């Protein structure tokens, strides 16, 4: 859940990078991202860590407004108020089209099928 803390004036540097381009390079107040074990949030002063990311929504707060991007699989690095997110691709949710959603659904169903076969 986003935190409402206007006293924190330090900012995080958020970079979202895909193989062919830098998608975002912003100063933000807060980040919420989809890790494989569940969502995590980052504010300034957070401990350093790496984590794999699942497909899902990346939320980041600039001033008092949250913005959202859909992330494809990737990894996040948090270090010294810098958040580097390396992903296959990312899209502003406003730009998501039905064909992209259907493609992602197909991928998730294939992943689920693979997991089911591993448990047998």
Establish if 66 belongs to a structural domain.
yes
User: Is residue 114 in some structural domain?
Assistant: no
- For position 70, which CATH number holds? 2.60.15.10
**How many domains does the chain divide into?**
1
User: What residue numbers bound the domain in which 63 lies?
Assistant: 12-95
- Whether 107 is in a domain gets the answer no
Q: What is the pLDDT of residues 76-111, one digit of tens each?
A: 999 999 999 999 999 898 887 777 777 777 877 887
- pTM of the predicted model as reported, rounded to 2 decimal places: 0.74
Left, alpha or beta for 90 (phi > 0: left; psi -120 to 50: alpha)?
beta
Beta carbons of 53 and 1 less than 8 angstroms apart: no
**Backbone angle region of 27, left / alpha / beta, with phi > 0 → left and psi within -120 to 50 → alpha:** beta
Is residue 106 in some structural domain? no
Q: 93 — phi, psi (to 5°)?
A: -60, -25
- Per-residue pLDDT tens for 19-75? 999 999 999 999 999 998 889 999 999 999 999 999 999 999 998 899 999 998 999
Instruction: Please answer whether residues 33 and 53 qualify as being in contact, where contact means their C-beta atoms are separated by less than 8 angstroms.
Output: yes
**Could you say which DSSP state residue 23 is in?**
E
In a domain, 89, yes or no: yes
């Amino acid at each position: 859940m986003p935190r409402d803390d206007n006293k924190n004036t330090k900012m995080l540097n958020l970079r979202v990078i895909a193989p062919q381009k830098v998608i975002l390079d912003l100063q933000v107040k807060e980040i919420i991202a989809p890790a494989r074990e569940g969502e995590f949030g980052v504010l300034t002063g957070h401990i350093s860590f790496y984590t794999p990311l699942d497909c899902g929504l990346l939320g980041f707060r600039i001033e008092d407004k949250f913005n959202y991007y859909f992330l494809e699989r990737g990894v996040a690095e948090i270090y010294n108020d810098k958040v580097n997110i390396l992903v296959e691709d990312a899209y502003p949710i406003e730009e998501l089209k039905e064909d992209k959603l259907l493609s992602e659904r197909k991928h998730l169903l294939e992943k689920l099928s693979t997991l089911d076969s591993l448990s047998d």
